[in-house]
Amino acid sequence: MPKVRSSNIGYPRIGEKREWKKSLENYWAKNISETELLDSLKDIRLSNIKKQKEAGIDLIPVGDFSLYDHVLDTAVSFGLVPDRFEYNGGEVDVDTYFAIARGTDSAVASEMTKWYNTNYHYIVPEITSAPTSLVHNRVLDLYKEAKTELDIDTKPVVLGPVSFVKLSKNQTDLSEQELIRSFIPLYAQLLQELEAADAAWVQIDEPFLNGQVTSSELDLLQEVYAQLDVAAPRLNILLQTYFEAVDDYEAIVNLPVQGIGLDFVHDAGESLKQVIKFGLPTGKILAAGIIDGRNIWRADLKEVKEIVDQLSVVVGEGQLILQPSCSLLHVPVTVKLEEELPEILKSGISFADEKLEELVALTNVANDTSDEQILEASAAAVKALNDSSSRNNEEVRALLAEVGESVPTRSIDAPERLRLQQEKYQLPLLPTTTIGSFPQTKEVRQQRLKWRKGELESAEYEQFIRDEIDKWIKIQEDLDIDVLVHGEFERTDMVEFFGEKLAGFQFTKFGWVQSYGSRCVKPPVIYGDVAFVEPMTVKETAYAQRQTKRPVKGMLTGPVTIFNWSFPRTDIPEGQVVNQIALALRKEVEELEKEGINLIQVDEPTIREGLPLKESKSQAYLTQSVDAFRLSTITVQPETQIHTHMCYSDFQAIIESIDALDADVISIETSRSHGELISAFEDFTYNKGIGLGVYDIHSPRVPAQEEIDRNISRALSVLDPKLFWINPDCGLKTRKEKETVEALQVMVDAAKQARKQL
Ligand code: GLN
Ligand code: ZN
């Protein structure tokens, strides 16, 4: 047996050119049959395995591939199908599976939510009673498939029972502990069948271990895994954690399993410290996540080799496995296709395939089957990128240094600013506005695409955008909205639009990652110092303002959101990257102000979702986020009104940070939570403007005025009417024109009526 082996935790499903997405969507559109769908997915699945084999990976995962989502896969393998999908037992068929994920005309889909702190979303299982059987040992089939079709002995991967239950909605009468226990016999059967098929290893993911773990949870883990270990004594269990170092190293490595997978990338060397301090129980395998599975940067393998060397001293011969820090689901497939990237960047990037190459190189060096020399190239590539002019912009450095450690603050406090602003704009009580975007019709999207492809002259395209602005300024005036917006017709996406105009960003061609279902996103790459180049939104906003006497609100995406939805560089601290973006946006804010745009909205819909998994890191993240937001907005005149917007989230948890943003007006969602969110503001003396999302834009229906009235009176019963704004709960770009105008009319009518009653 070699001293060290290489392994992978999970491989991207989507294929090099999103073949997976295309197959799924073709099936949903009824262009291909179920057999054609399953055949094409099988091709992708097998070719993924083959690729990993050819790369030289020793332990290749199966079961990570999915038709939609791995949490849903786990649920259906236990026959956990919500009643509304009329399931009659047995293996869940493909259409029922997709129905749970996507809904049908008669049954709403299961909810979907974020997978820990990633941008991947999983389908939330609804468990109404304890599971009674393993209806489909999916992973067993996949294990056998790889063996018969490719003659490869793979490593089955399943989501562990504790994390699975914690990720689900427990709608049973059982406590969480009891529900988890009810899964033990089914997992035991699953493992026994794998053992009988001669699988050597099974990877059981327990990602909940990346957060706070209580002692009773540790006891439960002990109990669960002791039983699973007894059930399949010949099968080796690798208990896999990821996204953070675990808090209870000693307890976790002593669980009754044969191997432990830990993240050695995050938490600044914490896992390494723990291993060195406490060692590893004899005979236990350590699967060390030493290549970052979350970012897209090539590692300096000489540095990583030092970690491997330190581990080799503590971990016995044959007991060390090298792998990525988490599933490679979160990175694109291959850099190979990125022909247009500048060479220095291309050689500094590493997607899934390249990460596997890095692992194999390290493994070979550790086993003395190749020379240390092969690690040199990576160190050189990383250095070249770090030394490049794009990462050494003196002006950006100077600007950052000037800001230093001081807390950015506006010259006058909020209540006084609001008074000055009111004096200047003379808005009615309960002013009405929208969140920024208006419907991106097919025509808008087509014109933009044509222009981007060079099929439409810039002058013609710009005229088209101006016509859309004209049309919507007129609509907003006719509706009698108080603060208008230009409509964001020129924007593809709220982050890409800015990334394309700022220095330091780069766009890949095939750098897609799965967000949910077949939906993939292509995050921009922040590779260099971020800097303002030229005005980004001034032309359209100022044009809109010239068409009306009413104030037009400028519209920017905030620094935290741009950061959270990109692949940021990691050679400098996160806070510096966010602040660079903030300073570039500040320039834009100033340019808008110069052009007479005196209400400026800086959207930060992702502040809440970017919260770290561990509470101990939350405060630092929130302070950093608040400072960045303030950095981008504080240099304006007191009369300039800064707005911000956040979509649905648990505001209660971060209310102090929302307050600290010191925005003059915040617009938030309230309609879907039936006013619950307002209580966050009511228990806290919030003395700035609040825009109420009085109706849900996520559905095409036009709200009845009574619904909006109810939302307004609920809020006015507890909050100062002078602080209130009335608006939809998010941007309207996904809506149709007709329903948008109708819904806004109802909203304005409701506002007018509410004013009369004040
Ligand atoms: N201004 C953006 C829009 O209206 C805000 C989008 C968002 O909150 N996600 O589309
Ligand atoms: Zn929103």
CB atoms under 10 Å from CB of 34, counted, come to: 11
Q: Which two tokens stand for residue 295?
A: 């970012």
- In the prediction, which pLDDT does 673 show? 59
Report which of residues 303 and 676 the model is more confident about: 303
Shortest CA distance to 289 belongs to which of 263, 320, 328, 319?
A: 263
CA distance 600 to 495: 17
Give the model confidence (pLDDT) of 454-494 as tens digits: 999 999 999 999 999 999 999 999 999 999 999 999 998 99
- pLDDT higher than 70, residue 129: yes
- In the prediction, which pLDDT does 674 show? 55
Check if the interface score ipTM surpasses 0.90.
yes
This prediction has a pTM of 0.95
Q: Which two tokens stand for residue 179?
A: 């529900």
Query: Probe ligand 1: pick from 433, 434, 435, 666, max atoms within 8 Å of CB?
Result: 435
CA distance 723 to 716: 10
Identify the residue whose tokens are 């109706």: 695
For residues 289 and 359, is the Cβ–Cβ distance under 8 A?
A: no
How large is the average pLDDT for residues 233-248?
97
- In the prediction, which pLDDT does 70 show? 98
Taken in order 370, 372, 377, 379, is the CA torsion positive or negative? Answer: positive
Contacts of 299 (CB under 8 A, 6+ apart): 291, 292, 350, 358, 378, 382
* Nearest residue (CA) to ligand 1, atom 5: 731
- In the prediction, which pLDDT does 675 show? 57
- In the prediction, which pLDDT does 718 show? 81
Distance (Å) from CA 569 to ligand 2 centroid: 26
Ligand 1 nearest-atom number relative to CA 437:
4
Rounded to 10°, the helix 34-55/94-102 angle is 80
How large is the average pLDDT for residues 348-363?
98
Ligand 1 nearest-atom number relative to CA 730:
8
Give the model confidence (pLDDT) of 378-403 as tens digits: 999 999 999 999 999 999 999 999 98
CA distance 600 to 637: 12
Give the model confidence (pLDDT) of 159-184 as tens digits: 999 999 999 999 999 999 999 999 99
How large is the average pLDDT for residues 196-213?
97
Distance (Å) from CA 603 to ligand 1 centroid: 7
Active site residue 136: no
For a pLDDT cut of 70, what percent of the chain falls above it? 98
Give the model confidence (pLDDT) of 242-253 as tens digits: 999 999 999 999
CB atoms under 10 Å from CB of 216, counted, come to: 9
CA distance 253 to 392: 43
- In the prediction, which pLDDT does 651 show? 77
* Nearest residue (CA) to ligand 1, atom 10: 731
| Ligand 1 pocket, CB under 6 A | 435-437, 488, 494, 555, 603, 605, 645, 647, 730-731, 733
Give the model confidence (pLDDT) of 691-747 as tens digits: 988 888 888 889 999 999 998 998 888 888 999 999 999 999 999 999 999 999 999
- pLDDT higher than 90, residue 633: yes
Return the minimum-mean-pLDDT range out of 399-403, 535-539, 619-623. 399-403
* Nearest residue (CA) to ligand 1, atom 1: 436
- Residue 683 burial by CB count (10 A; 0-12/13-18/19+): exposed, middle or buried? exposed
Beta pairing class for 553-557 and 599-603: parallel
Q: Starting from the CA of residue 601, give the closest ligand.
A: 1
Distance (Å) from CA 739 to ligand 2 centroid: 18
CA 403 to chain centre: 29
- pLDDT higher than 90, residue 686: no
Give the model confidence (pLDDT) of 546-594 as tens digits: 999 999 999 999 999 999 999 999 999 999 999 999 999 999 999 999 9
Distance (Å) from CA 392 to ligand 2 centroid: 35
Ligand 1 nearest-atom number relative to CA 434:
4
Shortest CA distance to 190 belongs to which of 204, 177, 180?
A: 204
- In the prediction, which pLDDT does 235 show? 98
Q: Starting from the CA of residue 435, give the closest ligand.
A: 1
For residues 194 and 235, is the Cβ–Cβ distance under 8 A?
A: yes
Distance (Å) from CA 606 to ligand 2 centroid: 9
* Nearest residue (CA) to ligand 1, atom 9: 605
Q: Starting from the CA of residue 433, give the closest ligand.
A: 1
* Nearest residue (CA) to ligand 1, atom 6: 731
Q: For the chain, what is the mean pLDDT?
A: 95
CA distance 408 to 22: 47
- In the prediction, which pLDDT does 666 show? 94
- The residues pairing with 6 across neighbouring beta strands, listed in sequence order, are 322
Ligand 1 nearest-atom number relative to CA 646:
8
- In the prediction, which pLDDT does 676 show? 63
- In the prediction, which pLDDT does 745 show? 98
How large is the average pLDDT for residues 232-261?
97
- Give residue 405's pLDDT band: very low, low, confident or very high (50, 70, 90): confident
